[in-house]
A and B are shown apart, each in its own frame.
Chain A
Amino acid sequence: MAKLLLQVEECKKEKFDIISEKLFEGKIKGQEVFLLAAAYGYKYKKRLPLTGKKADLSRKEYLRDSDWALISAIVYSTVETKEELKSLDSDKILSVIEEYANGGIDILFSEYENTSESQMFFEKFEADLLKMAREILGKMEGQ
């Protein structure tokens, strides 16, 4: 049966909720935190298979085209052969991305916890993103 839900480890569900409610003051939804966590996992190369009991975070349909483009790209980057790439379907892609989100949420939550105020988290977050964006644009110009 095709996967309908985005799942996380039950013991980490609270981390997703805290990031959504406290860090982003309820302005972002479960699947958006999931995507951020997965991106964190990819950035820090931390992919953890889900163990133990699982909890439902959001429904698959809530993922937009742009979200699918990102998670597909992340998952494609993990395969080595063309055949493997062509054999990926949405269920396989979601299973892999859940592992990245499982690893990424630990890092994201740790950064949040290590800053005494959310202001500090965002200052670092913003600086980090700006730095990376400049590097990306620099590379593009170099090409």
Chain B
Amino acid sequence: MRGLEKAKAESEELRDKKIKEKKVYLMKIAPIIYSWNALVSAYGLIGKISESENLPSIDDIEIIKYTLKKGKCIVCGHTISEETRIRLSKNLEQLEKAGEFAKLKSRIERKYLSFVEEIKALQGKLQSLNEEIRVLDKSISMYANEINKITDILRRYGNDEIRRLAEILPKYQSQRDNAIKTIGALEDKIKGYQKQLNDLEEALMEQLKKEEELKKLSRYIEFTQKLLKRTKEAKLSLKEDIRQKLEEKTENEFFSLMWKKDFFEKVSLDEDFDVHVYNFLGMDVVGELSGGERKVLTIAFALALHDVAGSKSPLVIDRPLTNISGELPTKKVIEMLSQIANEKQIIVFLTPNEANDEMRKLLVKDASNILTVSNKDGTNATLTSTQEV
């Protein structure tokens, strides 16, 4: 029933369109038909005037203008002579004098034949339009009959339930259409939300990944900090250990070498490894040590250092007697060196003044080898073994 009503409405719309088309057509052809006698009369009259007054048409004017402008014949293409040019210019002048009459004449001449054709086509065009309208009217009538038949059938059955259902059917169809639209809109929204969700998940995963990396980095930092702390502790412990060993060794060496054993009580190393020597009164007297005492302390520290470092190399002592005055201290230093030599190899450098006869007597007693470096000619140095055990 709805399909029939729709088809009927479409046919009615099309028919109305055709009727309007016919009205416009009639309106446009009417002035030609109503003015036909005037057209025929005017067409004849302007023909006579053209013949008697030899008026060329507007087309002639255009041809003359073109020929004068180009200087060539529009038909054969030959260049026009001066004589022709003058003649054409005069003709053009005459034509232009004819002014608007020539234009209007031309319009009538040009349109007359097309008007004839339009009048000839009128009957056929109207028949065609009327036929189209008639067919559409027939269709409309047929649809109307079908609709009436269905209405009659429904009325004949008189079934209230059928009528009620027929009445509510369009409502549900409309609701269904709306629901389809709503579903479409919701599906679009779901797609939008799904995309947002995917984007968020992706962002979340990225964030989690970053957090994981941060955690890992944090663990590395924590581990490194602990390692650094342990290393520092180990370093401090090792340093302290070394300091203690060095202090003990220095003190032992110092007292084993020192001849004034009662005056000095203690040798210590502070945390910066600065050496301090305390007397029996507990005073730090490192700044007041004599040259020999200072030398003893230096050698004691060097020995301790050599020992703690675990070095097996010989101990080289350059000019151990420098700043030592007096026979006893010098003798004590030599004895000390001799004593050290029992435990490790030592090499001692002395100047000629230091290595005097008296010193040599002492050295001969304890040294395994004495080598003399001389440079008498000022150029080449010679090495002479004085004593070899």
Write the residues of chain A forming the contact surface with B, with a CB cutoff of 8 angstroms.
Answer: 23-25, 27-28, 32, 35-36, 38-40, 42-43, 65-66, 68-70, 72-74, 76-77, 82, 85-86, 88-90, 93, 122, 125-126, 129-130, 132-134, 136-137, 140
Contact = CB atoms under 8 A, between A and B. Distances in A.
Given A73-B35, A77-B37, A39 B30 contact: yes
Nearest to B45: A76
A76 B37 CA distance: 11
A69 B31 CA distance: 11
Nearest to A43: B34
Contacts, number: 117
B42 A24 contact: no
Given A25-B20, A90-B100, A129-B26, A70 B32 contact: yes
Contacts of A132: 33-34, 36
A85 B32 CA distance: 21
Contact of A88 (B35, B37, B104): B104
Given A76-B45, A77-B37, A88-B104, A137 B111 contact: no
Given A69-B112, A129-B33, A136-B33, 14 more contacts: A35-B31, A39-B31, A69-B39, A70-B38, A73-B38, A74-B38, A76-B42, A76-B45, A85-B101, A126-B126, A129-B26, A129-B29, A130-B122, A132-B34
Interface in B98-120: 98-101, 104, 107-108, 110-112, 114-116, 119-120
Nearest to B21: A27
Contact of A39 (B35, B45, B104): B35
29 contacts: A24-B24, A24-B27, A28-B24, A36-B30, A39-B35, A65-B107, A65-B111, A69-B39, A69-B107, A69-B110, A69-B111, A70-B32, A70-B39, A70-B111, A72-B42, A73-B39, A73-B42, A76-B108, A77-B38, A85-B45, A85-B101, A86-B98, A86-B101, A88-B100, A88-B104, A126-B22, A132-B34, A133-B122, A140-B116
Given A76-B41, A130-B122, A32 B28 contact: yes
Interface residues on B, range: 35 or more
B23 interface: yes
Contacts of B99: 89
B31 A36 contact: yes
B49 A85 contact: yes
Contacts of A68: 104, 107
B259 interface: no
A42 B49 contact: no
Interface of B: 20, 22-24, 26-39, 41-43, 45-46, 49, 98-101, 104, 107-108, 110-112, 114-116, 119-120, 122-123, 126
A32 B119 CA distance: 18
Contacts of A77: 37-38, 41-42
Contacts of A90: 100, 104
A76 B46 contact: yes
Contacts of A42: 34-35, 38
Contacts of B31: 35-36, 38-39, 70
Contacts of A38: 31
